[in-house]
Structure 1
Amino acid sequence: MENCIIPVGIKEVLVRGQITKVARAIVRSLCQNGIKVMVLREEEHCMLAEFLAGHCMENLILTTNYSPMIWLVGDGLSNEEQKMAEQGTHFLPFSQFPPTELRKDCFYHTTPAMIIPDSAQNIDSCENWLGRRVMSAWRVGGIVHALEGWEEHECGLDVPMVNSHRAWEAALRHGFQPLVYFSEIKKSL
């Protein structure tokens, strides 16, 4: 999962925003892969720490440092926090909607999304911030669930997330392709 949004070689990210099931899954994956995940608020640190174990805990850091150049952001990111970011920071949303583009000296990326397969008919776009034949990961997930005939659901914070690798592999198998933008991140860092 993290390879879609975090370029190889990045050692730390800042996570800011509402702690959702998606945020927890991303943080767990990053921490398991040795990437330092920094959070600014103690309550967010506590919520995330509940879902980490063993050596992963050492990669979750409560900080007052706004310097990481990669920020993974969700709902709840304030304008004041954006102003604290270093020039050239990349804001990558894990939420359904992208953050407000407040700074001209930073980079804002789209929400997690995939390119729709050519075989899909009558699907041009779903969100006005994404290009044609690009669909948010949330919608792709719903389509993949239906195509695979999966009966389980992932609604609610307390319902465990279905194996993300299984969903990823199924999406690729059905012809959805990742919307990759980490090469432009590498160029700017």
Structure 2
Amino acid sequence: MQGEELNRYGGLYVHRYPELKMKVVDGSSLAVAVILNSIPKGTTEVLLRGNLTKVAYATAFALCQKGIQVATLNQTEYLKLTKSLNVTDSRLVLARSYAQKIWLVGDGLSEEEQLRAPKGTLFVPFSQFPQKKLRKDCFYHYTPAMKTPPSLENVHACENWLPRRVMSAWRIAGIVHALEGWKEHECGYNMSNIDKVWQATLQHGFQPLMISTTHTKN
């Protein structure tokens, strides 16, 4: 278990044990990669809601780098993002409405906020645990996860909210890190190269997890 308040995203453990032979991998870079690849192509703006985490900051930064506008509704969160990301142009904005239809959501998203989302909104979690599904007229992506390769045997369900043979990005990251023989830790405020980790994960047979964003008429 790791978080900023608990142990600085695992970095405190590595600091206390500098001779540690095993590598500590929190999986943040792969989680960000999965989130980025869960956002529909052609998206120009997203709304970021929920408690800000290492993954949330990194995702917001990556989206701004891609020219996608990232909006938040909270003044304090906006100031934290501006300071952390060093983004001063219009790609990071303080929104005045809930008009965006792609929401990146984490722990702390209130039920009231979720109910104010426009019809057809796609909720993409950046948290390890899923949001409660309150809307039948919206779409909910899985928490960051991927399909396991067919060669990986005796895998049923990684988490009880994920489909069979689907594993969370945080767990996959440790497997890929070991398979690649990477020597660095990925914890604390350090992150591996997102594109490098994503490509390595695909090469090892893990596949993106897609969902349908069209409603079926009964």
TM-score (norm 1): 0.88
Structure 1 residue 38 and structure 2 residue 71: aligned?
Answer: yes
Distance 2:89 2:38 in 1: 21
- The runs of at least 4 consecutive aligned structure 1 residues that moved more than 4 Å come to none
SS at 1:15's partner residue?
Answer: strand
1:27 aligns with 2:66: no
Q: How many residues get paired? A: 182
Q: Does 1:169 align with 2:169?
A: no
Is 2:101 the counterpart of 1:59? no
**1:96 pairs with 2:138:** no
Structure 1 position 163, deviation (Å)? 0.9
Contact 2:145/2:166, CA 8 A, preserved across alignment? yes
Give me the CA root mean square deviation. 1.8
Identity rate, percent: 55
Cα distance in 1, alignment partners of residues 183 and 166 from structure 2 = 25
Give me the whole-angstrom Cα distance separating, in 1, the residues matched to 2:184 and 2:53.
19
How many angstroms apart in 1 are the aligned matches of 2:127 and 2:179? 24
Q: Which stretches in structure 2 are left out of the alignment for 5+ residues?
A: 1-32
Cα offsets for 1:144-173 (capped at 9, x unmatched)? 1121222333333xx221111111111111
Structure 1 Cα separation of the partners of residues 67 and 121 of structure 2: 21
Which of 140, 161, 172 is matched with 1:140 structurally? 172
Give 1:70's match in structure 2, choosing from 102, 122, 130. 102
Q: Which structure's relative contact order is higher, taking Cα pairs within 8 Å and 6+ residues apart? A: 2
* Unaligned stretches of 5+ residues in structure 1: none
Greater radius of gyration (CA): 2
Query: Partner letter of residue 23 of structure 1?
Result: A
Counterpart CA distance in 1 for 2:187 and 2:109 is 23
Q: Which residue identity does 2:204 align to in structure 1? A: H
Find 1:8's aligned residue among 35, 41, 44: 41
CA contact (8 A) 1:126 1:136 kept: yes
Q: Deviations over 1:47-97 (max 9, x none)?
A: 22223346x732000112101111010111111111111122111101111
Does the Cα contact within 8 Å between 2:36 and 2:59 map onto a contact in 1?
no
Deviations 1:109-131 (A, max 9, x none): 11111110111122222111111
Alignment partner for residue 144 of structure 2, among 112, 130, 141?
112
Give the SS at the match of 1:27: helix
